[in-house]
Amino acid sequence: MIVTYDRLLRAEWTKLRSLRSSGWTMVAMVVSSIALGTLLCAVVAAHWSSASAADRASWDPTNQSLVGTIFGQLAVAVFGVLAVTGEYASGTIRASVAAVPKRTPLLVAKAAVYGGVALVSGEIVSLISFFIGQRIFQGRVPYATFGQPGVARAVLLAGVYLALICLIAMALGVVLRHTAGAITAIVALLLVLPAITAALPTSFQNSVGRFLPEQIGGGSMGAVVPEPHALGPWVGTAVLAGYALVAMLLAGRMLARRDV
């Protein structure tokens, strides 16, 4: 039987649907992103009257409504890790690489399916979060509409950000081949490293911190002009896409060269 990408995609889709952990992880991503975003929007709206002049001047209702996706990134990262390490844990990876000896097409198909699901789910979450957030803001604080400059782009890039985090997590899963280790690594990248950077001098934060995924994600989800030291939304997303590409290339090389 000739192994084609069409068959590989269908096989990966079947694996995804058959794994309960993957389905529940995506449910957690959707629920946590929307719920936390809604809660934070309600809190901000309730305390708007006591907001400082500086907070009002920098107010970005679009970014605020999408803040829940920053929490959802952890769930989508776990989703990406489990896409790979689940097979290593169950031993089915041996059957997979036996069916696809070159291995690279296997990784490409897995990235396409899981990354695609993360992208679609992320776009749905960002759209719902945006409209719920603006509904909460109406009549209480300045709000945004979808047709305003930068709003549609911010909503779009929020979903793209989650998909790219999923791919980076998948690559870590291939490299480490261990669920706990890969999850620890991606959490360190998304949460621990930004916290460490925030404790360092401002000059270091401005020059290095802006290249961290968390900073890129936050910047790409805003409709207002970013701070001078921050990467622009499209530039930042391109940088993050570069991270994902390099990570997947490294993962593909290691998958092809070592025993499973």
Residues 138-163 have pLDDT tens digits of 988 999 999 899 999 999 999 999 99
Residue 260 CA to residue 255 CA, distance in Å, equals: 8
Top mean-pLDDT range of 12-26, 152-166, 218-232: 152-166
Question: In this predicted structure, what is the pLDDT of residue 131?
Answer: 95
Residue 192 CA to residue 256 CA, distance in Å, equals: 31
Question: In this predicted structure, what is the pLDDT of residue 1?
Answer: 47
Output 230 or 238, whichever has higher pLDDT. Answer: 238
Q: With 80 as the cut, is the pLDDT of residue 95 above it? A: no
Q: With 80 as the cut, is the pLDDT of residue 4 above it? A: no
Percent of the chain residues topping a pLDDT of 90: 50
Q: Which domain holds residue 193?
A: 5-257
Question: In this predicted structure, what is the pLDDT of residue 225?
Answer: 66
* 128 CB neighbour count, 10 Å cutoff: 17
- The tally of domains found in the chain comes to 1
Q: What is the mean pLDDT of the chain?
A: 88
